[in-house]
Amino acid sequence: MTDTVLPPDDPQALAEATAQAMWSRDRAAQALGMQIVQVQPGRATLSMQVRADMVNGHHICHGGMIFSLADTAFAYACNSGNHNTVASACHIDFLAPAREGERLLADAAVQSQAGRTGVYDVTVRREDGSVIALFRGKSCRIPGEVIAGLQQADSAH
Amino acid sequence: MTDTVLPPDDPQALAEATAQAMWSRDRAAQALGMQIVQVQPGRATLSMQVRADMVNGHHICHGGMIFSLADTAFAYACNSGNHNTVASACHIDFLAPAREGERLLADAAVQSQAGRTGVYDVTVRREDGSVIALFRGKSCRIPGEVIAGLQQADSAH
Amino acid sequence: MTDTVLPPDDPQALAEATAQAMWSRDRAAQALGMQIVQVQPGRATLSMQVRADMVNGHHICHGGMIFSLADTAFAYACNSGNHNTVASACHIDFLAPAREGERLLADAAVQSQAGRTGVYDVTVRREDGSVIALFRGKSCRIPGEVIAGLQQADSAH
Amino acid sequence: MTDTVLPPDDPQALAEATAQAMWSRDRAAQALGMQIVQVQPGRATLSMQVRADMVNGHHICHGGMIFSLADTAFAYACNSGNHNTVASACHIDFLAPAREGERLLADAAVQSQAGRTGVYDVTVRREDGSVIALFRGKSCRIPGEVIAGLQQADSAH
């Protein structure tokens, strides 16, 4: 049950409320110091600064941390309609390394959504705009809602 | 320069020394609480327990944490010959969720190594053996060695 | 409706009958000159000779032809239980070129099957055993059977 | 050696001349009835009609034929600068089936090009604009030129 009250048919408000609800329990994204820059229906931008504890044995940002940022942007984009949605597969191309101290930005945008399955592209950039990774994720809707009870409330309007 | 002294032509000793050298500076893997279970030439097994701060907005282990474990096992496998090697692309299929408290194991094994490019497969399992993710990574050798100066020392023998 | 009569609980006979039924209408595989070397439950091996009309602008076998062979082996492996199954996504790493006249072999094997979704790996080799491509496909069961009416007949036993 | 004479610094003319040279020896693309709709530096659009001999055992266009179209558009896009370039890996998501008789269009566009490595995205659509597949390819430059001797001629100007 939720006390969120949203105007019906406002996808932007729904995307923002959903992101807020996910964020409150997204301990992994919080622990990695991510920030939600913006969300829209089917889109999300997140940022993360490369910390000293994100560096690997080659003195560059661990690929898993770059993937985590991209995957999180993907999650906020594909859940923006309040339908519980998880990743079924992801592909990432690493184009350039990231260094400690750099702030990274991940832009996720829906490419296809048909039935329960979607495809989302995420571009990871440094603050100067240079691209360091390209990510493509396949999403799958599972039962339930991010904000439980919200859609029923909407339908009751 | 290094004071590591290895018998020449001992790939197992080289894999272990390389893993130890990488681990000492792999702050990301350390921060995620990973452990090296074993390394062999072209192979590595790592473990990680799903902590409370690795859970996402759906109350399951963040896909980025599962990827990070697989990617790290891949890194130890593809660097086991002491040639500096990074990931150029990775693909992961998520088959089942992981829960807080579960211990995950990632087994990486070389599938192909030709010139500077390799392909490695990683299987991520729960402790009961059930597979939760399949990962395939493409590696690319870059200049330099994990243990700088080691090969020259070897050749001097 | 079909007049195929199979002993119940014989997965090998089912795999062979399903492959035969698929093959009879698989005009693409026939047109490319493929041959089914063997099928087993969850596995299939197909061969194809690189013809003059399969060569691309770089004088080597077109990647699409190598993919087609791998994808076909995948199809026979993932349909071997007589449930209609299609590819939802595929990934291929090209490791070495193939030349006109070479005979290629693709071995497909199930890696995971859970619910309607499966993951299958295919290795494409030259006749000398050298690997030229690694393929991973994700399968999705759709309604219907390859040999329509067969399962009902089985259940009637 | 070639008698092609191109004005220097005309990437569009170079892309067109390169496509023409590749096409003349691209027997696979010709055999599949493809057509080059247009090429630009880093981009290419190709079309293909789904023939009766491109249908698989499920009565839909073989995934390998859809892949072949996408892969060919990718090839014309990534070779448009006249540097010999091959695919090192490709990923394809199949979103909807294609039927016999339908004309498919594949649009390829460069996403990243750094050193010898590039990433290209290809969208495959029906004529009504509906997307049936999303393809991402990684390219690798190899020694040589598509039109041998052309660059030297250019430099001589």
Spell out which residues of chain C touch residue B119, defining contact as CB-CB under 8 Å.
93, 95, 134
Cβ pair C91:B91 closer than 8 A: yes
Q: What is the pLDDT of residue C4?
A: 60
Q: Which of C86, C88, C142 to mutate to test the interface with A (most CBs of A within 10 A)?
A: C88
Backbone angles phi, psi at A18, to 5 degrees: -65, -45
For the entire predicted model, the pTM comes to 0.93
The C-alpha atoms of residue B9 and residue B11 are separated, in whole angstroms, by 6
Residue of D nearest to B137 (CA): D89
Q: How far is C152 from chain A (nearest CA, A)?
A: 29
User: Residue B55 gets which letter from DSSP?
Assistant: B
Q: What pLDDT, in 10s, does the model give residues D55-98?
A: 998 889 999 999 999 999 999 999 999 999 999 999 999 999 99
Cβ pair B64:A28 closer than 8 A: yes
Contact D107, D92 (CB under 8 A): no
Residue of D nearest to B91 (CA): D91
Q: How far is C157 from chain A (nearest CA, A)?
A: 37
- b/e map of B10-27 (b: 16 or more CB within 10 Å)? eeeebbbbbbebbbeebb
Asked if residue B13 has pLDDT above 60, the reply is yes
Q: Which amino acid is at C41?
A: P
Q: What is the mean pLDDT of residues D12-21?
A: 96
From its phi and psi, is residue D133 left (phi > 0), alpha (psi between -120 and 50) or beta?
Answer: beta
Give the sheet arrangement for strand D43-49, strand by strand. C35-40, C43-49, C103-114, C117-126, C131-145, C83-94, D83-94, D131-145, D117-126, D103-114, D43-49, D35-40
Q: Which of D92, D130, D134 to mutate to test the interface with A (most CBs of A within 10 A)?
A: D134
Spell out which residues of chain C touch residue A89, defining contact as CB-CB under 8 Å.
89, 138
Spell out which residues of chain C touch residue B136, defining contact as CB-CB under 8 Å.
91, 93, 134, 136
Q: CA-CA-CA-CA torsion for A139, A143, A149, A155, nearest 10 degrees?
A: 80
For a pLDDT cut of 90, what percent of chain A falls above it? Answer: 85
From its phi and psi, is residue A77 left (phi > 0), alpha (psi between -120 and 50) or beta?
Answer: alpha
Q: What is the mean pLDDT of residues B78-88?
A: 95
Asked if residue D152 has pLDDT above 90, the reply is no
Q: What is the pLDDT of residue C1?
A: 40
Q: What is the pLDDT of residue C112?
A: 96
Q: How far is B9 from chain A (nearest CA, A)?
A: 24
Tokens of D16: 């067109």
3-class state of residue A72 by DSSP = helix
CB-count burial class (<10 Å; 0-12, 13-18, 19+) for C4:
middle
The C-alpha atoms of residue C115 and residue D46 are separated, in whole angstroms, by 37
Residue of D88, D91, D117 lying closest to B91 (CB–CB) = D91
For a pLDDT cut of 70, what percent of chain B falls above it? Answer: 90
For a pLDDT cut of 90, what percent of chain B falls above it? Answer: 85
Q: What is the pLDDT of residue B57?
A: 83
Residue of B nearest to A86 (CA): B58
Q: Which amino acid is at D13?
A: A
- ipTM exceeding the 0.90 mark: yes
Residue of D22, D52, D93 lying closest to C57 (CB–CB) = D22
Cβ pair C91:A88 closer than 8 A: no
Q: What is the pLDDT of residue A8?
A: 66
Q: What is the pLDDT of residue B5?
A: 64
Predicted confidence band of residue D5 (pLDDT cuts 50, 70, 90) = low
Predicted confidence band of residue D150 (pLDDT cuts 50, 70, 90) = confident
Give the sheet arrangement for strand B43-49, strand by strand. A35-40, A43-49, A103-114, A117-126, A131-145, A83-94, B83-94, B131-145, B117-126, B103-114, B43-49, B35-40
Sites in chain C below the pLDDT cut of 50 = 1-2, 152-157
Q: What is the pLDDT of residue A156?
A: 39
Q: What pLDDT, in 10s, does the model give residues D104-136?
A: 999 999 999 998 999 999 999 999 999 999 999
Q: How far is C27 from chain A (nearest CA, A)?
A: 28
Q: How far is C59 from chain B (nearest CA, A)?
A: 21
B-contacting chains (≥3 CB pairs under 8 Å): A, C, D
The C-alpha atoms of residue B73 and residue B104 are separated, in whole angstroms, by 12
Q: How far is A131 from chain B (nearest CA, A)?
A: 14
Q: What pLDDT, in 10s, does the model give residues A2-24?
A: 456 676 689 999 999 999 999 99
Spell out which residues of chain C touch residue D61, defining contact as CB-CB under 8 Å.
28
The C-alpha atoms of residue D49 and residue A57 are separated, in whole angstroms, by 50
Question: How much is the mean pLDDT over chain D?
Answer: 92
Q: How far is C37 from chain B (nearest CA, A)?
A: 23
The C-alpha atoms of residue B74 and residue B19 are separated, in whole angstroms, by 12
- Which residue would you say has higher pLDDT here, D137 or D3? D137
3-class state of residue A41 by DSSP = coil
3-class state of residue D83 by DSSP = strand
Spell out which residues of chain C touch residue D22, defining contact as CB-CB under 8 Å.
56-57
Domain residue extents for chain C: 11-156
Residue of B nearest to D136 (CA): B89
CB-count burial class (<10 Å; 0-12, 13-18, 19+) for A100:
middle
Tokens of C92: 């291929």
Spell out which residues of chain C touch residue A138, defining contact as CB-CB under 8 Å.
88-89
Which residues on chain C place their C-beta less than 8 Å from a C-beta of chain A?
88-89, 91, 117, 138
3-class state of residue D4 by DSSP = coil
Q: How far is D113 from chain A (nearest CA, A)?
A: 9
- Which residue would you say has higher pLDDT here, C71 or A154? C71
According to CATH, the topology of domain B11-156 is: Thiol Ester Dehydrase; Chain A (3.10.129)
Q: Tabulate helix, strand, coil % of chain D (nearest 5).
A: 30, 40, 30
Cβ pair A138:C91 closer than 8 A: no
Cβ pair B89:D138 closer than 8 A: yes
Q: What pLDDT, in 10s, does the model give residues A71-110?
A: 999 999 999 999 999 999 999 999 999 999 999 999 999 9
Crossing angle of helices C11-25/C63-78, nearest 10°? 140
C87 membership: H or E segment, kind and range = strand C83-94
Residue of A nearest to C118 (CA): A88
Q: Which of D95, D126, D130 to mutate to test the interface with A (most CBs of A within 10 A)?
A: D95
Q: Which amino acid is at A53?
A: D
The C-alpha atoms of residue D128 and residue D131 are separated, in whole angstroms, by 9
Cβ pair D89:B138 closer than 8 A: yes
CB-count burial class (<10 Å; 0-12, 13-18, 19+) for B131:
middle
Which residues on chain A place their C-beta less than 8 Å from a C-beta of chain B?
21-32, 52-65, 67-69, 71-72, 75, 79, 84, 86-94, 97, 146
Spell out which residues of chain A touch residue D134, defining contact as CB-CB under 8 Å.
111-112, 119, 136
Cβ pair B71:A62 closer than 8 A: yes
Q: What is the pLDDT of residue A149?
A: 81
